[in-house]
Amino acid sequence: GAEPAKSQLVEDHEAHMLVAEWRLHKFQSPIELSHEESITHDHFDPLEFHGHWDNDGVATFTNTGKTVVLRFSERATPYLVGGPLHKDTYCFEQLHFHWSDDDSGGCEHIFEGRAYSMEAHAVHYNLKYGSFKDAVDKPDGLAVIGFFLEATDNEDNPCFSEMVKGVQNVIKINTTTNIAPDCLNWIKEEAQCKGYYTYQGSLTTEPYLESVTWILYPTPIHVSRQQVAYFRELKSTACEKINIVNNVRPIQSPPADKKINVIFA
């Protein structure tokens, strides 16, 4: 009858609008963050990390040719709830890093006009979509937690040494190694800090889908220059001539009315 035909039209229109909106690239990442230009909230549910630090599963580290990726076995998938994630649960998919050829750059987001040496992204997908693949193109599909790393002249950060050991074991492209499942301890302290920045944005790699709730912790984690340097040894091609020396997307200009929230839960 006429009713179903009409609702089909509405559905088609809505789908079209959704696609059109995505094409506008209104929510591209990374962006610059500043406290002054953010909206402050101090009554928010805390963001809860479950299984990220006390994991007893199997963890692997892989050189993909573009970055190094940490994964946990399915049996021990960490998950996130609370904060800006509404009532949904977000499952850990992987953690990876961005860096450049220079310790004074290498992060993707810029915080108060400052760049850091590296940025780590803990990628999570919304459990209601069942898998990362089915969540990646949904507006509320992903939550990526970002941490800055700053190279200093000081000693190695001992909590970060398991990551560095992993890097040294996957210098060749497409190689994988096992690492200790408690290897995320280096972000624990920062992740338990009260303040973080959050906004709706995109993947920073192709296909740049606008499906990410970004959550960024502003205080950098200190590591040594040598610990960062090991990442630049990773090979990006099978012929082993080319190293991964820059996997950072430049800053994207957000629309003037873009909302960035800083949350002190």
The smaller minimum CB distance to ligand 1SD, of residues 209 and 265, is found at: 209
Q: Which of 47, 59, 68, 144 binds ligand 1SD (CB under 6 A)?
A: 144
> What string marks each residue from 44 to 83 as x (binds ligand 1SD by CB under 6 A) or -?
-----------------------x----------------
Rg (CA), the chain: 19
3-state class of 80 per DSSP?
strand
| Burial (CB count within 10 angstroms: exposed 0-12, middle 13-18, buried 19+), residue 151 | buried
How many residues bind ligand 1SD, per CB under 6 A?
8
In the structure encoding, which two tokens stand for residue 21, read together? 């909106």
CB of 106 to Zn ion, least distance (A): 12
Residue type, 16: H
Determine if 89 is a binding residue for ligand 1SD (CB under 6 A). no
**Closest separation in Å from C-beta 155 to ligand 1SD:** 29
Residue 235 DSSP class: B
Nearer to ligand 1SD, 96 or 235 (CB): 96
Give yes or no for residue 124 binding Zn ion (CB under 5 A). no
- d(C-alpha 20, C-alpha 38), whole Å: 27
Shortest Å, Cβ 204 to ligand 1SD? 4
Q: Which is nearer to Zn ion, 71 or 121 (CB)?
A: 121
The enclosing H or E element of 169 equals: helix 161-169
Q: Which stretch binds ligand 1SD (CB under 6 A): 77-85, 160-168, 198-206, 251-259?
A: 198-206
Residue 123 interface partner, choices ligand 1SD, Zn ion, none, CB cut-off 5-8 Å depending on type? ligand 1SD
Question: Which of 204, 211, 213, 227: binder of ligand 1SD (CB under 6 A)?
Answer: 204
Q: What 3-state class would DSSP assign to 51?
A: coil
Cα three-residue angle 40-45-48, rounded to 5 degrees: 115
Among 33, 47, 167, 203, binds ligand 1SD (CB under 6 A): 203
Does residue number 96 form part of the binding site for ligand 1SD (CB under 6 A)?
yes
**Phi/psi of residue 229, nearest 5 degrees:** -60, -35
Is residue 123 at the binding interface for ligand 1SD, with CB under 6 A as the rule? yes
121 belongs to the binding site for Zn ion (CB under 5 A): yes
H or E segment and range at residue 135: helix 132-135
Residues with Cβ within 8 Å of residue 26, at least 6 apart in sequence: 210, 254, 255, 258
Q: Considering beta carbons, is residue 66 or 156 the nearer one to Zn ion?
A: 66
Task: Round to whole Å and give the CA distance between 65 and 54.
Answer: 29
Side chain identity at residue 59, one-letter code: A
Where do contacts with ligand 1SD occur on this chain (CB under 6 A)? 67, 96, 121, 123, 144, 203-205
Where do contacts with Zn ion occur on this chain (CB under 5 A)? 121
